[in-house]
Chain A
């Protein structure tokens, strides 16, 4: 049977059999559809990538107002554009590890306070100039400098000194940090000549493609970089088309105007995947949709009330009705199994009796006000209504206030004591916790001030023994889960879809959609 299946997979890989037919035959041989799809993906990889042709992406999130300056990238289009023409020192790989791009290798000192990144020999920018340690230093300098507007500043605050040792960049930290290399794969930190100080908008970098033509918020055309050092970039051209409307994006894929799209609406993903020439990829992610309470504002300053609300939410119902099954249940901590040092903690279930018990114990007898808006996450008002229902079963009254999309992030989120919101994942637990749960974090949007938690986070940062670190992160997750202001009912999947004109897809459940933005350079046009 195995031999026969392999034979089918090879035939399907070279196009003598359709994917659908292959999966059908494999299932007839008693193989599960997911296994069959995975086998086919392997066989396709084995058949080898083809070079040439154009891959066209339909991508959501771009606006006319975007900038080519990588420091200002704040949406998926800008991030994808950055990573086509430029590269960071390191890159996340499947499984949560790191791989060298501009840096060939890296190592940390025993106290995790000094990190050395060796720059890859003989690589050049797309303008022909060689990459030196000075360029890397200048890049970091621009992102942390006095007048920076960089989105990566928060990550780099602990950097004390950056210097060159031959073609090695040495970064000294104020405090020990075992996760510093993870910061160096952030999509803002694309290495530019002279750090981009002279011309931040030049779009010159070491990436597999060069920007040929662009109109902000409309389209970007890339050509293969002839001087590229690495093995990415099979298509000769990449065309990136901004399509913000969900229906238009799907229609463009269905009619063959584009080959790959992101953010297929969960509501219709099942229908889209039924078309014979289209394949929908639902990839687990660390992104999550949340209800956030300020732990220091009444009535949410009472842990019994917070616990009551946590027991009063039906997580599975939200995954089924808001994500349409394209996701997984959350556990009131921002961490799930996408993180390298994740360890299971006890799952909290919907329990109206316990919710009622804690609500009564809290002594609060008014109505709780929840603010929400359409753009806080897809389906947020519906999720709020479901929450209202499940709380009503426990006798807890919830009032929903619908806020306008406009100004939600500046007027409601991180200002009002209880609202809906979302978080994208981070590459490491340390980053997620430091971004939003440390007492001094810029975006401590749950106003979580817990000395024990802060202490654990700083200790874990300096700890190089992974087992001990894992235990600390688990303790921290438990602290947030039991005392924090986060109600995290669900983790959303990335739902991308491709036509059968291109191949080479691989599920990468870390970072961002589009195989953590590597899809355009690692997929190829079918021969």
Chain B
């Protein structure tokens, strides 16, 4: 067990180092954005006096190194600062937004992950026959279409024409009952599921097929197990490591990559929040969002690594 703890500590330390580098990158990146925050806040019709007054108030005239150190200090104490544009506390605003994004990601994941694995197992079971081919064809089609196209199509058919679900998430309230909330995000969940399904399904299929070549699979078959039991009880556990990696990548995508879906369906999550603040050059918020996304991404990858190591004892003793 000692070795697991040391691997864990090592991974976490690496993650923190990565986060620090990311913070540098984000800061430099946001400085390189063209345009200035005062002009963006006051818009096309701002007077020079107003611009000068606002710049002074926002403190954007200070040298970048000083601003970076200030920001890093705040970050370490858990204070993300206040938004330049609205003067709102970023911690509070992001907390609300992040909860919404996680809610959407959670329900999409609950549906997409088991479905992808099940479809992957099914595809192996009927390898090269019509169920395999139709599963591959459908999922590859949905992943090839941009999310907003699938979004608009489902919005029109399921929302406007058939009226099964709310076409947009404008009715979403964080304090409403679960059923109402699920109704407003039903179509976004569907879109996200269709977008992430193919990747996980294909990886499950490929990983299991790889294991299916092994001698112990033959043994299991000779014991007289049904084909599906062989796949799900013997082959799948041994192919979990590549699958879990892909699942974690897709979970990360569900949190950090849903900007388009959130904007299209008017869902008040992190995506819309980030886009608005990038447009307005509200750098503290962009940096805060960037750091949160990076943390989620690195965190999920860390979990994937750990699960792989636990599932495969060979990885615990690297030679």
Interface residues of A (CB under 8 A from B): 58, 63-67, 72, 74-75, 147-151, 153-154, 215-219, 241-245, 247-248, 251-252, 254-255, 257-258, 404, 406-407, 409-411, 413, 435, 442-443
Name 27 interchain pairs, CB-CB below 8 A, sorted by A: A58-B170, A64-B276, A72-B41, A74-B45, A149-B42, A149-B50, A149-B53, A151-B43, A151-B50, A215-B96, A215-B268, A217-B273, A242-B266, A244-B263, A247-B264, A248-B155, A248-B170, A248-B265, A248-B266, A257-B168, A404-B34, A406-B35, A407-B35, A409-B44, A410-B35, A410-B36, A443-B44
Contact status of A149 and B264, CB under 8 A, knowing A58-B170, A217-B272, A254-B160: no
Inter-subunit contact A410/B276 (CB<8 Å): no
CA–CA, A149 and B49, complex, Å: 8
Q: Which residues of A contact B48 (CB under 8 A)?
A: 442
Inter-subunit contact A65/B266 (CB<8 Å): no
Q: Closest A residue to B39 by CB, please name it.
A: A410
Q: Which residues of B contact A149 (CB under 8 A)?
A: 42, 50, 53-54, 57
A150 to B: closest C-beta gap in Å: 7
Contact partner of A251 among B43, B45, B155, B272, CB < 8 A? B155
Interface centre among B34, B86, B263 (most CB of A within 10 A): B86
B156 at the interface (CB under 8 A from A): yes
CA–CA, A409 and B34, complex, Å: 11
8 A Cβ contacts from B260-309 to A: 263-266, 268, 272-273, 276-277, 279-280, 282
CA–CA, A64 and B84, complex, Å: 12
Q: Closest B residue to A154 by CB, please name it.
A: B47
Q: Closest A residue to B43 by CB, please name it.
A: A74
Counting chain B residues whose Cβ lies within 8 A of the other chain, the interface size class is: 35 or more
Interface centre among A151, A251, A411 (most CB of B within 10 A): A251
Given A58-B170, A219-B170, A243-B170, output 17 extra A-B contacts at Cβ < 8 Å. Answer: A64-B277, A65-B282, A72-B41, A148-B53, A149-B53, A151-B43, A218-B268, A242-B266, A245-B263, A248-B170, A251-B160, A255-B159, A257-B168, A407-B34, A409-B35, A409-B39, A411-B35
B250 to A: closest C-beta gap in Å: 24
Q: Closest B residue to A435 by CB, please name it.
A: B45
Q: Which residues of A contact B276 (CB under 8 A)?
A: 63-65, 217
Interface centre among A63, A215, A404, A413 (most CB of B within 10 A): A63
Q: Which residues of B contact A411 (CB under 8 A)?
A: 34-35
CA–CA, A74 and B47, complex, Å: 13
Q: Which residues of A contact B39 (CB under 8 A)?
A: 409-410
Contact with A along B80-92 (1 / 0, CB 8 A): 0001011110000
Interface centre among B47, B96, B265 (most CB of A within 10 A): B47
CA–CA, A385 and B156, complex, Å: 31
B85 to A: closest C-beta gap in Å: 4
List 7 tightest A-B contacts by C-beta distance, closest first: A407-B35, A65-B85, A74-B43, A407-B34, A63-B276, A64-B276, A251-B167
Q: Which residues of B contact A443 (CB under 8 A)?
A: 44-45
Q: Closest A residue to B46 by CB, please name it.
A: A151
B107 at the interface (CB under 8 A from A): no
B239 at the interface (CB under 8 A from A): no
Q: Which residues of A contact B273 (CB under 8 A)?
A: 64, 217
CA–CA, A464 and B88, complex, Å: 48
Q: Which residues of A contact B43 (CB under 8 A)?
A: 74-75, 151, 409
B131 at the interface (CB under 8 A from A): no
B33 at the interface (CB under 8 A from A): yes
Interface residues of B (CB under 8 A from A): 33-36, 39-50, 53-54, 57, 83, 85-88, 93, 96, 152, 155-156, 159-160, 163, 166-168, 170-171, 263-266, 268, 272-273, 276-277, 279-280, 282
A7 to B: closest C-beta gap in Å: 35
Q: Closest B residue to A258 by CB, please name it.
A: B170
Q: Which residues of B contact A406 (CB under 8 A)?
A: 33-35, 279
Contact status of A252 and B50, CB under 8 A, knowing A247-B264, A410-B36: no
Contact partner of B280 among A65, A148, A404, A442, CB < 8 A? A65
CA–CA, A435 and B159, complex, Å: 45
Contact partner of A153 among B47, B170, B272, CB < 8 A? B47
Inter-subunit contact B266/A245 (CB<8 Å): yes
Q: Closest B residue to A216 by CB, please name it.
A: B86
Contact partner of B168 among A65, A217, A243, A404, CB < 8 A? A243
Inter-subunit contact A65/B83 (CB<8 Å): yes
CA–CA, A251 and B33, complex, Å: 34
CA–CA, A154 and B152, complex, Å: 42
Inter-subunit contact A247/B53 (CB<8 Å): no
Contact partner of B167 among A154, A244, A257, CB < 8 A? A257
CA–CA, A411 and B171, complex, Å: 38
CA–CA, A67 and B86, complex, Å: 5
Contact partner of A241 among B156, B170, B280, CB < 8 A? B170
A475 to B: closest C-beta gap in Å: 26
Contact status of A247 and B155, CB under 8 A, knowing A74-B41, A252-B168: yes
Q: Closest A residue to B268 by CB, please name it.
A: A218
B190 to A: closest C-beta gap in Å: 15
CA–CA, A217 and B273, complex, Å: 9
Inter-subunit contact B50/A67 (CB<8 Å): no
Q: Closest A residue to B87 by CB, please name it.
A: A67
Q: Which residues of B contact A66 (CB under 8 A)?
A: 85-86
Q: Which residues of B contact A251 (CB under 8 A)?
A: 155-156, 159-160, 167-168
Inter-subunit contact A255/B54 (CB<8 Å): no
CA–CA, A17 and B256, complex, Å: 51
CA–CA, A295 and B54, complex, Å: 31
Inter-subunit contact A442/B163 (CB<8 Å): no
Contact partner of A64 among B155, B163, B264, B272, CB < 8 A? B272
CA–CA, A218 and B93, complex, Å: 12
Contact partner of A65 among B44, B45, B171, B277, CB < 8 A? B277
B10 to A: closest C-beta gap in Å: 39
Q: Which residues of B contact A244 (CB under 8 A)?
A: 263, 266
Q: Which residues of A contact B168 (CB under 8 A)?
A: 243, 248, 251-252, 257
A464 to B: closest C-beta gap in Å: 28
Q: Closest A residue to B263 by CB, please name it.
A: A245
Q: Closest B residue to A201 by CB, please name it.
A: B87
Q: Closest B residue to A157 by CB, please name it.
A: B47
CA–CA, A252 and B39, complex, Å: 32
CA–CA, A77 and B137, complex, Å: 44
CA–CA, A505 and B209, complex, Å: 65
B46 to A: closest C-beta gap in Å: 7
Q: Closest B residue to A254 by CB, please name it.
A: B160
Inter-subunit contact B50/A153 (CB<8 Å): yes
Q: Which residues of A contact B83 (CB under 8 A)?
A: 65
